């Protein structure tokens, strides 16, 4: 989760998010350089005493300020496309989880080996124990094993929702009548929070996603426990 | 014409679109008008017309003298010739004004006014923040974030020294 007044991204919990962080650094640097340069030009133009500014031309500078932006755009596009195609790679996930959006909660189904399904409602602020995070905590977390390629199949039962976990670098729209697939690998254990990312009615802001990444033994113990309960 | 009559306060000259009334003595370049106009702009140093179009008899004779050798012209005559062609010299047109002070004053005033409005709004319009904003809760949240190793790479948990149970120096 983000700490209060945090401006930047959360630390990456998946290799894809690491790539996105690095690309963002790169693109932001380009943006800062361009902005600083433009700011300098604006200040120079305001404070200059040069005459004949609007009645002269220069082919040279016009060539430069056409070619250079094109090069900069290529410099941004190449890493961007690389990550785009990286995101589309699916190579044999070990686990499949279905996340289905409802108004206004998520339900998760682990049906690879047994029929495990449960709902995940937000814990209302009045029911929080001291120290829990308002609007982010859920009563049942989606637990997955660490360092395991996971396939998430996202869908919805009623209206559009969107399943997003920023730390993992995932977001996928939950469309009723459609199965959207996304894969990720959680590279470190921990608890990662996300919120529904597509307007879906009155409680759109109150259906969070909580992913708990644990070592495989813990995941197995948890799923056995959940199966006993349901 | 209707607008001219209605806005007598502003003055006919200011809002009339008739070219004759606007004359040629504005500072802005008069684009879109078919008649050439005079303007004083540093970036575009050659106006379309001379400033003084109706020359007095003195000026007419000066113009005749100008056709001869310029070495015979005195300094005052050169300046007079300049003033026939141009309204302001470069020094005069580049001169700053004290307008920036009024603008800055207006900006600060409105920022201050907005600040007062915001303070009033917070006191009289908005309700209480949720109970999770109280300092004790926030402290417990922070402890929980550290315990859960939230953002341990470069974020908040990376700034905590777990051995000595304090923030890293």
B156 in reach of chain A (CB within 8 A): yes
The answer to whether B45 touches A54, Cβ cutoff 8 Å, is: no
Residues A208 and A193 in one domain: yes
Contact state of B150 with A133 under an 8 Å Cβ cutoff: no
Closest CA relative to residue A70, chosen from A82, A60, A78 = A78
Q: Count the Cβ atoms, other than its own, within 10 Å of residue B81.
A: 17
Residues A66 and A101 in one domain: no
Looking up tokens 């959360």, which residue turns up? Answer: A10
- Whether residue A156 sits in one domain with residue A65: no
Does B137 reach chain A within 8 Å, measured CB to CB? yes
Q: Would you put residue A92 in left (φ > 0), alpha (ψ -120 to 50) or beta?
A: left
**Residue A66's domain is classified under what CATH number?**
1.10.287.90
A159 part of a folded domain: yes
Q: Are residues A30 and A110 in the same domain?
A: no
Q: Which of B155, B157, B158 to mutate to test the interface with A (most CBs of A within 10 A)?
A: B155
- What is residue B65's predicted lDDT score, i.e. its pLDDT? 92
| Tens digits of residue pLDDT in A131-168 | 999 999 999 999 999 999 999 999 999 999 999 999 99
Whether residue B42 and residue A51 make contact (CB cut-off 8 A), yes or no, is yes
Residue B21 has pLDDT above 70, yes or no: no
Residue A108 shares a structural domain with residue A153? yes
Question: In this structure, are A114 and A223 located in the same domain?
Answer: yes
Q: Is B144 on the interface with A (CB under 8 A)?
A: yes
Q: Give dist(CA A150, CA A93) in Å, integer.
A: 5
Residue A8 within a domain: no
HSE-CB for A56 with a 13 A CA cutoff: 9
A10 near B CB under 8 A:
yes
**A63 inside domain:** yes
Which residue carries 């802005």 as its tokens?
B28
- Is residue A148 domain-resident? yes
A146 shares its domain with A66: no
Number of separate domains in chain A: 2
Q: What is the pLDDT of residue A47?
A: 86
Whether A66 and A160 share a structural domain: no
Flag whether A10 is in a domain: no
In a domain, A3, yes or no: no
- Indicate whether A124 and A212 sit together in one domain: yes
Looking at residue A222, which CATH number applies to its domain? 2.60.40.420
pLDDT of res. B39: 87
pLDDT band with cut points at 50, 70 and 90 for residue B26: low
Examine residue A9 and state whether it is found in any structural domain, yes or no: no
The SS3 of residue B68 is: coil
pLDDT in tens, B52-86: 888 899 999 999 999 999 999 999 999 999 999 99
Q: In chain A, positions 189-208, which contact chain B (CB-CB < 8 Å)?
A: 190-191
Average pLDDT over residues A30-56: 91
In percent, the amount of chain A with pLDDT more than 90 equals: 90
Q: Which of A88, A113, A137 is the last residue of a domain?
A: A88
Domain shared by A146 and A183, yes or no: yes
Model confidence at B17, pLDDT cuts 50, 70, 90, reads: low
**What is the model's pLDDT at position B19?**
47
- Within 8 A of B140 by CB-CB distance, chain A residues are 130-131
This prediction has a pTM of 0.81
Question: Containing domain of residue A24, as a range?
Answer: 15-88
Inform me whether the C-beta atom of residue B45 falls under 8 Å from chain A C-beta atoms: yes
How many other β-carbons are positioned within 10 Å of the β-carbon of residue A68? 11
Residue finishing a domain among A88, A121, A152? A88
Contact yes or no for A122/A137 (Cβ under 8 A): yes
Task: Report strand pairing: A180-185 vs A190-195.
Answer: unpaired
The total number of residues written for chain B in this structure: 169
> Of the residues A88, A114, A133, which one is the last residue of a structural domain?
A88
Q: Judge if the upstream peptide bond of residue A104 is cis by omega within 30 degrees of 0.
A: yes
Q: Closest residue of A to B146, CA-based?
A: A3
Any CB–CB contact under 8 A between A146 and chain B? no
- Comparing B22 with B74, the larger pLDDT belongs to B74
Residue A163: inside a domain, yes or no? yes
**Model confidence pLDDT, tens digit, residues B112-138:** 999 999 999 999 999 999 999 999 999
The CA distance from A168 to the nearest CA of chain B, in Å, is 12
Check if B151 contacts A (Cβ < 8 Å): yes
List CB contacts (< 8 A) between B142 and chain A.
3
DSSP state of B70: G
CB spacing of B155 vs A11 below 8 angstroms: yes
Taking the Cβ of residue A59 and every Cβ of chain B, the question of whether any pair is shorter than 8 Å is answered with no
In this structure, the answer to whether residues A73 and A121 fall within a common structural domain is no
Query: CA A178 to CA A176: how far, in whole Å?
Result: 5
- pLDDT by residue (tens digit) across A121-134? 999 999 999 999 99
Asked if the Cβ–Cβ distance from A51 to B90 is below 8 Å, we say yes
pLDDT of residue B1: 55
Residues A212 and A114 in one domain: yes
């Amino acid at each position: 989760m983000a700490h209060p007044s945090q401006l930047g991204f959360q630390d990456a919990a998946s290799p894809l998010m690491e790539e996105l962080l690095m690309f963002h650094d790169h693109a932001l640097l380009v943006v800062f350089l361009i902005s600083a340069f433009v700011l300098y030009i604006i200040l120079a133009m305001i404070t200059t005493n040069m005459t004949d500014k609007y009645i002269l031309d220069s082919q040279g500078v016009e060539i430069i300020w056409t070619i250079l932006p094109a090069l900069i755009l290529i410099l941004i596009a190449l890493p961007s496309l690389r990550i785009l195609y990286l995101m589309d790679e699916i190579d044999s996930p070990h686990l499949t989880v279905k996340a289905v959006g409802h108004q206004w909660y998520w339900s998760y189904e682990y049906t690879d080996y047994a029929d495990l399904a449960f709902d995940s409602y937000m814990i209302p602020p009045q029911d929080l124990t001291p120290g829990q995070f308002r609007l982010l905590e859920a009563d049942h977390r989606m637990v997955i094993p660490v360092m395991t390629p996971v396939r998430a199949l996202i869908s919805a039962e009623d209206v559009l929702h969107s399943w997003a976990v920023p730390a993992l670098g995932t977001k996928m729209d939950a469309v009723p009548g459609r199965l959207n697939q996304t894969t990720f690998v959680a590279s470190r254990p921990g608890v990662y929070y996300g919120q529904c990312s597509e307007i879906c009615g009155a409680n759109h802001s109150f259906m969070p996603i909580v992913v708990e990444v644990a070592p495989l033994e813990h995941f197995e113990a948890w799923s056995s426990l959940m199966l006993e309960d349901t | 014409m209707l607008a001219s009559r209605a806005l007598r306060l502003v003055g006919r000259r200011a809002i009339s679109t008739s070219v004759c009334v606007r004359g040629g003595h504005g500072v802005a370049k008069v684009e879109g008008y078919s008649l050439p106009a005079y303007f004083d702009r540093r970036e575009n140093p050659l106006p379309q017309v001379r400033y003084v179009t109706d020359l007095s008899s003195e000026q007419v004779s000066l113009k005749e003298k100008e056709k001869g050798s310029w070495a015979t012209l005195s300094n005052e005559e050169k300046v007079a010739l300049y003033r026939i062609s141009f309204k302001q010299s470069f020094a005069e047109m580049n001169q700053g004004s004290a307008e920036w002070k009024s603008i800055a004053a207006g900006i600060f005033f409105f920022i201050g006014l907005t600040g007062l409005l915001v303070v009033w709004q917070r006191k009289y319009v908005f309700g209480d923040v949720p109970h999770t904003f109280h300092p004790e809760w926030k402290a417990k949240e922070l402890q929980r974030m550290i315990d859960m190793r939230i953002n341990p790479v470069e974020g908040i948990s990376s700034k905590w020294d777990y051995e000595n149970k304090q923030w890293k120096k």
